[in-house]
Structure 1
């Protein structure tokens, strides 16, 4: 009889810290995921969406204010399936209502779950974003999740139910002009998300 197969070693935060700075790394349920920096269409969509939201919702210019919206914040959540293990996720954009987070923490990461996240999908990240990170966001009580696909030119909108499960996606396409919670105080022209 052969030796029993060894269980793969769970990655640690030290493994994440050892990733070169020109990569994006996330620690999800003990697995280290390392991705290249975002491609141009991905960066365009993320930057465009952030620019549309920060003025009215963070600064209160032409909108209600009341939010902190950040690019690529590092989120730390305890993994209930592995005591002491931290999931370290980096959404493309995340937002917190100021009544929940009046000021930024002094740590280099956030332990308070955002009220909204946005992931911009690419071939290298889509499976992890959908299948691994979305359940963690739901478990942590993130109320709103948007998935932007710059190649398909779609915006999928999810709202968390009382059972901590995502409702069915509402999909907006191409150059639609839409009002979407939690940012429905303004109309969002999706055409600004798609690189020409």
Structure 2
């Protein structure tokens, strides 16, 4: 943060134009317009696939609260992952509070990477999630057709990487296979490597 600049507040988020998403990371406001349609497709399909098996227990084990774009208030940080999940055994009454945010770190977060947010998601948010005790983080890149699965270790993240049309068992949802090919928008082509 620049010297003499005031820390960002929640009022700064509320003042954003309609359709913008704001986050406060290390007292700094980060704001982005709503993402592209392919980004929404991946988040919606992944949320549906995991939600069916892990939130509702349809042909799967259940046991999770999985939410789209929950607002997380973790200390002074205000983060909005694309998806997040809490184990029900850890927080059985998660949805009983009448507030529009969550102040308990999730067990799992997922960020769908966009060209405008990838550096923030990787460089600033991933370390914050680790520091706040999130046990698993996923980074999904719809352009590269990849899934990066991060498992929390004592000194950092442990990474597993999958791609294309792989069928994987990705932690913490490894009880059910995940068909990555279903995530990529129909007819989408993998972006060329930079």
User: Scaled by the length of structure 1, what TM-score is found?
Assistant: 0.90
Q: 1:99 aligns with which of 67, 89, 101?
A: 89
Separation in structure 2 between the aligned mates of residue 115 and residue 41 of structure 1, nearest angstrom: 26
Q: 1:70 aligns with which of 48, 67, 72?
A: 67
After the TM superposition, which of the residue ranges 17-26 and 172-181 deviates more from structure 2? Answer: 17-26
- Give the direction of change, closer, same or farther, for the CA distance of 1:18–1:181 in structure 2 (3 Å limit): same
Alignment map for 1:155-170 (pairs within 5 Å)? 155-163=147-155, 165-167=156-158, 169-170=159-160
Counterpart position of 1:194: 184
Secondary structure of the structure 2 residue equivalent to 1:191: helix
**Ranges in structure 2 where 5+ consecutive residues have no aligned partner:** 187-194
CA RMSD of aligned residues (A): 1.2
- Give the direction of change, closer, same or farther, for the CA distance of 1:6–1:67 in structure 2 (3 Å limit): closer
> How many residue pairs are counted as aligned between the two chains?
183
Separation in structure 2 between the aligned mates of residue 6 and residue 190 of structure 1, nearest angstrom: 45
Secondary structure of the structure 1 residue equivalent to 2:38: helix
**Displacement, 1:6?**
4.5
**Displacement, 1:13?**
1.2
- Give the direction of change, closer, same or farther, for the CA distance of 1:180–1:6 in structure 2 (3 Å limit): closer
User: Scaled by the length of structure 2, what TM-score is found?
Assistant: 0.91
Higher Rg of the two aligned structures: 1
Counterpart position of 1:22: 19
Q: CA offsets, 1:71-90, max 9 Å, x none?
A: 00000011xxxxxxx11000
**Displacement, 1:185?**
1.0
Say whether 1:122 aligns with 2:114: yes
Query: Structure 1 stretches (4+) deviating beyond 6 angstroms?
Result: none
Separation in structure 2 between the aligned mates of residue 156 and residue 39 of structure 1, nearest angstrom: 20
Q: 1:42 aligns with which of 39, 43, 53?
A: 39
Separation in structure 2 between the aligned mates of residue 112 and residue 35 of structure 1, nearest angstrom: 24
After the TM superposition, which of the residue ranges 96-105 and 44-53 deviates more from structure 2? Answer: 96-105
